Amino acid sequence: MFESALCQIIFYVFAALALLCAVGVVAFRNPVTSAMNMALCFGLVSAILFGLGAQFLGIIQIIIYAGAILVLFVFVIMMLDIKAEEHSPASWLPAVGGTVVAAVFAGMVMSVSMNLPGAKDGSCPAKTLWDNIGELSLAPQPQQAEAPAKVTRFGGALPALSPAAAAKALNPDIAPEQAANATTYPDVKLVGHTLFTQYNIPFVILGFALLSGSVGAMALARKYRKD
Amino acid sequence: MIQNLPWLFLLLPLLAAVIDWVVFRKCSKCAAALSILSVAATFALCVAYLCGLQTGTPGIYTWMPVAAAQLSLHMGLVLDPLAMRMMLVVTGIGLLVHIFSIGYMKGDPSNLSRYFAGLSIFMFSMTCIVLADNLAMTFIGWEMVGFSSYLLIGHWFDKASAADAAKKAFITNRVGDFGFLIGILLTLGVFGSLNFADMGAKAAGIAPAILTATVLFLFCGAVGKSAQFPLHVWLPDAMEGPTPVSALIHAATMVAAGVYMLVRLQVAMGEAAFTGTACNVIATVGAITAVLAALMAVQQDDIKRVLAYSTLSQLGYMVMAVGLLAGEAAMFHLYTHAWFKALLFLGAGAIIICCHHEQDIWKMGGLAKRMPLTVLCFLMGTCALIAVPGFSGFFSKEAILDAALEQNPVFFWVGAGVAALTTFYMARLCLVAFCGSARAHGAEHAKEACPTMLLPLLVLAVMAIISGYGFAADSLVPFEGFHAHGFALGLPFYAGMGALALGLLLAFALYGCGKRSKDPLSGNAVSDALRNRFYIDALYDKVIIGGLQEIVAHIIEFIDAAVIRGLLMQGSAWLTARIGLLLSYIQGGSLRAYAFVCGFGLLILIFLLAFNL
Amino acid sequence: MIPLAHYLIFSGLLFSIGLAGVLVRKNIIVVFMCLEMMLTAANVSLVAFSRAQGTAGIPVYDAQVLSLFVSGIAAAEVAIGLALIVAMFRSRKSVESTELTSLKD
Q: Give me the interface pTM, i.e. the ipTM.
A: 0.90
Residue range A42-91, pLDDT digits in tens: 999 999 998 888 889 999 889 888 888 888 899 888 888 877 766 665 56
Contact between chains at A137 and B596 (C-beta distance less than 8 A): no
Interface residue B602 vs chain A (CB under 8 A): yes
DSSP-derived secondary structure for B421-459: HHHHHHHHHHHHHHSS---SHHHHT--PPPHHHHHHHHH
- The reported pLDDT for the residue numbered A122 is 53
Residue of A nearest to B611 (CA): A136
Q: How close, in Å, is residue A115 to chain B by CA atoms?
A: 11
Contact between chains at A137 and B612 (C-beta distance less than 8 A): yes
Residue range A199-222, pLDDT digits in tens: 999 999 999 999 999 899 988 888
Contact between chains at C9 and A109 (C-beta distance less than 8 A): yes
- The reported pLDDT for the residue numbered C65 is 92
Contact C76, A78 (CB under 8 A): no
- Chain A residues with CB under 8 Å of B588 CB are none
CA B567 centroid distance within chain: 45
For residues B398 and B310, give the distance between their C-alpha atoms in angstroms, rounded to a whole number.
Answer: 17
Contact between chains at C101 and B587 (C-beta distance less than 8 A): no
Interface residue B607 vs chain A (CB under 8 A): yes
- Angle among Cα B84, B88, B90 to the nearest 5 degrees reads 110
Per run of 10 residues, the mean pLDDT along chain B (length 613 residues) is 78 88 84 89 88 74 69 80 86 89 82 87 90 88 90 87 87 88 88 81 80 88 86 84 85 85 86 81 90 86 87 89 86 88 88 81 78 87 86 85 84 88 87 78 74 85 83 75 70 84 84 69 72 75 77 86 83 89 76 81 85 66
- Nearest Cα neighbor of B460 from B391, B358, B545 is B391
C partners (3+ CB pairs within 8 A) are: A, B
Contact between chains at C103 and B587 (C-beta distance less than 8 A): yes
**Burial profile B433-472: b = 16 or more Cβ within 10 angstroms, e = fewer:** bbbbebbeebbeebeebeeebbebbbbbbebbbebbeeeb
Is the pLDDT assigned to residue C15 strictly greater than 90?
Answer: yes
- The reported pLDDT for the residue numbered A137 is 45
**Best mutation site among C61, C90, C93 for testing chain A: the one with the most A CBs within 10 Å?**
C61
For residues A227 and A179, give the distance between their C-alpha atoms in angstroms, rounded to a whole number.
Answer: 69
Contact between chains at A25 and C33 (C-beta distance less than 8 A): yes
Contact between chains at A105 and B600 (C-beta distance less than 8 A): no
Contact between chains at C10 and A15 (C-beta distance less than 8 A): yes
- Chain A residues with CB under 8 Å of B610 CB are 108, 112, 136
Find the CB nearest B589 among C22, C26, C101.
Answer: C101
Is the pLDDT assigned to residue A127 strictly greater than 50?
Answer: no
First vs last C-alpha separation in chain A: 71
Q: Which residues, in sequence order, are CB contacts of B288 under 8 Å at separation 6+? A: B229, B316
Residue range A3-17, pLDDT digits in tens: 577 778 888 999 999
Interface residue A138 vs chain B (CB under 8 A): yes
For residues B64 and B333, give the distance between their C-alpha atoms in angstroms, rounded to a whole number.
Answer: 37
- Chain B residues with CB under 8 Å of A98 CB are 592, 596, 599
- Chain B residues with CB under 8 Å of C105 CB are 589
Find the CB nearest A52 among C26, C36, C48.
Answer: C48
Number of A/C CB contacts below 8 angstroms equals 275
CA C53 centroid distance within chain: 23
Q: What is the mean pLDDT of chain C?
A: 86
Residue of C nearest to B597 (CA): C23
Interface residue B592 vs chain A (CB under 8 A): yes
Interface residue B535 vs chain A (CB under 8 A): no
Q: Which amino acid does the sequence have at C65?
A: V
Interface residue A85 vs chain C (CB under 8 A): yes
Residue of A nearest to C86 (CA): A221
Q: Which residues, in sequence order, are CB contacts of B377 under 8 Å at separation 6+? A: B343, B347, B454, B457, B458, B460, B461
Contact between chains at B606 and A105 (C-beta distance less than 8 A): yes
Find the CB nearest B590 among C19, C22, C101.
Answer: C101
For residues C26 and B171, give the distance between their C-alpha atoms in angstroms, rounded to a whole number.
Answer: 70
For residues A49 and B160, give the distance between their C-alpha atoms in angstroms, rounded to a whole number.
Answer: 90
Interface residue C88 vs chain A (CB under 8 A): no
- Nearest Cα neighbor of C10 from B271, A110, B443, B467 is A110
Contact A52, C58 (CB under 8 A): no
Q: What is the mean pLDDT of chain A?
A: 78
Mean per-residue pLDDT for C37-64? Answer: 86
Interface residue A47 vs chain C (CB under 8 A): no
Find the CB nearest B610 among A97, A102, A108.
Answer: A108
